Structure 1
């Protein structure tokens, strides 16, 4: 276990900070001569080497190669993030870039995707947003025949969103498809899917629905399919995966391939982000601290998005290399969470 930060001497703390700052900026190990030249510590390279050796024995630094200098371990980065990091607030331009995406007109999911892309660009990492499945308010429903036994069910939301599903329609004529679509649109416009389902199934149960048997079966099947398909699954948006392939990654293509595969496995990422919902502060997973990215040298910063009443309405964050600029990116994620709270709350 590493020493607590307060147990380090002032000299060790100064050398450790310089090594971490340099590594986060360049991704390269730092040698004693470089520290002696740049630090202004008034220490000889030999003295600095002694301090770095002590820090290595404490588990805070490591030497990837002989005579290659030192770089922080994951334990060292954790110590730095928890006890030494000075946060840098986002600039006015960075805040404006994020806010412009969140406030853009159009469907909510487009605004979320734009916000994730903006966060990705500003942090040089992959931007991620996780929100609960939002039920659209219905505007129009139609059924388009595809073949003798299949149709395309099209649901248009009041926000302009469109969802399509292929539906089995044995025995349903083109006239029944039109009748079912007209019936649903006339009665359900302005309702959410769950409200629509309750109303229609109640009318059908009470035999008040003015539909023939084929259209009635089609309406029931379509509503049940949409309700089950939603299943309250979260919507996960990932933007900027290509930013994870840095110069160091080009020498480790297996790691890159595994990382991109894991980003495609959205269920695992969703569970990781959901684990950050407790508490108010951003949660930071460094390297092997999270099992999902343990082998890929990646870190995750995630922050819950809370509505004014305290409800968690989403999670926003970034996935990037272990040498993320934590001091800059953590406040950026904080600001993005506050911005999305206004959109989702």
Structure 2
């Protein structure tokens, strides 16, 4: 049966439904009429509440998990609550500070993303997820710093001002002057190109005899570019933190659901495709249970929001995965704040 729009519920039904959902989200247990009657602001008898809950069940908003138990909201009921009744609570000053502090540590962008995702996981008691932006770095400056006779530090300054370094093994016979020559060559001839473009041009110039480098220096440049190209190609597309948060008491009682959920998290390709649908949108996306087939069996929800670069283009998605009974009113604004913080970081 299609869910009743919020405007079709009576004031009494709306109040009872809201209290059932909020109690279920807080405690994770079926809610009975007597429990609702004792909640602040409720002036109906248990018998009257029971009748209202029966009507809500017939409308597909509540269900009976067991014959003698109280009611729980259906996925459709949760959707109705999230879209039309939820009163969002903005993140506290401490929560905002925790997320922002994780982004101010510096280092590679992936480390900042992973750190912010871990903070979001800890604050929301869910698994934090972030889709890493697929950026093709460009070269601005390249240099080699000798560490020993056999190793050097390859330092790359990217077009965006980022600085990264890697330790590489040196070909036999490489001198300090060759290191300087190789670094100057990359900066002068390959600056402004992406890694793939730089490697292609180097190969072309070597083939055409245009590379003004001896054999040892050519090999040095090739190794220096290769270590970055390989590193970027293996960087994670998806970062997941806090999976242990998903195994709460309710989940532990259903080992098959736990296994299914962990299997779903291992299938990162499917999660990436799910988050890509959030990337295409203009704002927050909330998937509740079987609304997305990926988490239909485990009964999980996903809250995701895109984050943008300095030009306003969507470059990634951040969010959480949790049980369908997660605290949407608290977590939705928290995900939104994290997305905004990441957008500021990418500028």
Q: TM-score, normalised by structure 1?
A: 0.84
Q: RMSD of the alignment, in Å?
A: 3.3
* 1:181-260 → structure 2 map (5 Å cutoff): 185-188=183-186, 192-211=194-213, 227=229, 230=232, 235-260=237-262
Q: Could you report, residue by residue, the CA deviation over 1:245-270 in whole angstroms, capped at 9, with x for unpaired residues? A: 10111111222122122212221111
Q: Tell me if structure 1 keeps the 8 A contact 2:127–2:245.
A: yes
Q: Tell me if structure 1 keeps the 8 A contact 2:133–2:315.
A: yes
Q: Tell me if structure 2 keeps the 8 A contact 1:132–1:234.
A: no
Q: Tell me if structure 2 keeps the 8 A contact 1:153–1:165.
A: yes
Q: Tell me if structure 2 keeps the 8 A contact 1:179–1:215.
A: no
* 1:1-345 → structure 2 map (5 Å cutoff): 1-136=2-137, 137=139, 139=142, 157-158=156-157, 159=162, 161=164, 174-175=172-173, 185-188=183-186, 192-211=194-213, 227=229, 230=232, 235-345=237-347
- Runs of 5+ in structure 1 lacking a partner? 143-151, 167-171
Q: Structure 1's 335 and 209: CA in aligned 2 closer, same or farther, altered over 3 A?
A: same
Q: TM-score, normalised by structure 2?
A: 0.84
Q: Structure 1's 153 and 298: CA in aligned 2 closer, same or farther, altered over 3 A?
A: farther
Q: Structure 1's 334 and 46: CA in aligned 2 closer, same or farther, altered over 3 A?
A: same
Q: Structure 1's 297 and 153: CA in aligned 2 closer, same or farther, altered over 3 A?
A: farther
Shift of 1:129: 1.1
CA–CA distance in structure 2, aligned partners of residues 111 and 67 of structure 1: 49
Q: Structure 1's 55 and 103: CA in aligned 2 closer, same or farther, altered over 3 A?
A: same
Aligned residue pairs: how many? Answer: 334
Q: Tell me if structure 1 keeps the 8 A contact 2:62–2:77.
A: yes
Q: Tell me if structure 2 keeps the 8 A contact 1:133–1:232.
A: no
